[in-house]
Structure 1
Amino acid sequence: MMQVLSSKSGANTKECPSPGKLIVLTGPSGVGKGTLLRSLLQRHPELYYSVSATTRSPRPGEVDGKDYYFISRSKFEQLVAAGKFLEWAEFAGNYYGTPSEPVIDQICSGKLVVLEIELEGARQIRRSFPSALSIFILPPSFNELEKRIRSRGQDSQEAIARRLQRAQEEINAANEFDIQIVNDDFETALNSIEAVLFG
């Protein structure tokens, strides 16, 4: 069946003979989405991970083009104006966004494409790509999430307070998503995601 895929801006429109699927992974900061995704990609190299663009500085060990595309604010704003993102949002003072062209290309080639994005971006994807499958990763409890965020040791008290307030708002939105998975036991959570994707 021929399907026409396009981003909301219409900047990228393609006819796809046998489209793949867009998978959105979201959840509060510190819940372990990144770690789950890395393990998922190791086990399933056939998945396509869409690298996001950001204006934040690289963290130790992060590689440009692999973890994120690290770009300036002005460059990011130019891309937004040109309709080059599937979704974008400002989070903790930095922009994050998903370049649309590679995602649409990969879905058109029949791939399962995985995005790991924040709540606001995930909501934009639901509006622009209603056929996307959305998975929300929950912490076992709010106290456990607070412990994980504090143990990172890379944020000021003020930043931690902001992250926790935002995390509570995000957790309250979990029921907007197709599937909720609690990351209590890592292996169990990973198996649950696999069961959803490969059933």
Structure 2
Amino acid sequence: MMMLIGGCVMLPSAVRAQFHTVRYDHGHCRLKVVEAASENAGSKVAENKPDAMNAKAAAPSTSDDTAAKRKEWIGRYMSVSYPLRKIKVNSPYGVRRDPFTGKKSKHNGIDLYARNDEVFAMLDGQVFKTGQDKRSGKYVVLRHGDYTVSYCHLSRILTVKGASVRPGEVVGITGSTGRSTGEHLHITVHYRKKYVNPLVLLNAIREIKTTTYNYIIMK
């Protein structure tokens, strides 16, 4: 599965936060804009992106050895992964109408469309916690440096606390456990202990994929 995710190619789109779906096309992934996000997702998402995930910062140093440089770019390309093979945002980050109460409430993550899908680690890191409760259902929490990523409502957990994870490594299977109206993958992201819109991370991954792939195919 890691090679499938590592082999995905995300085509450029607007930098601002949007609803996306990813689909395969001859072994690659192609990004298609489905609809613009609500005001809660906001056009300022990219402006708040932490420097640690800046695509330019991910670029390798210049080298006269073309083969070594190409290998380094491929390594950068493989250093990030999307959490699902296909990505479509069902419910964005921010204030929304709670599906259970009908009242407006803060949604601290995003909900992705899923149907018994494998869930992948997005970055190198470690399994910080796994468990189950009435709200999140079965969940996995991964730590990637200053980032902490939670995957909730899983049907199965396929990793253990303390395990090291690589980008594209399967950590669970999507489901509808806990406080859920139907199957989906709920993702929350903390950056230095503060909630951030997960699209910040997804957009940064897209930029790294795009930047490195453009170099690889041109060389």
TM-score normalised by the chain length of structure 1 = 0.22
User: When you count helix as a share of all residues, which structure comes out higher?
Assistant: 1
Q: Which has the higher contact order (CA 8 A, sep 6+)?
A: 1
User: When you count strand as a share of all residues, which structure comes out higher?
Assistant: 2
TM-score normalised by the chain length of structure 2 = 0.21
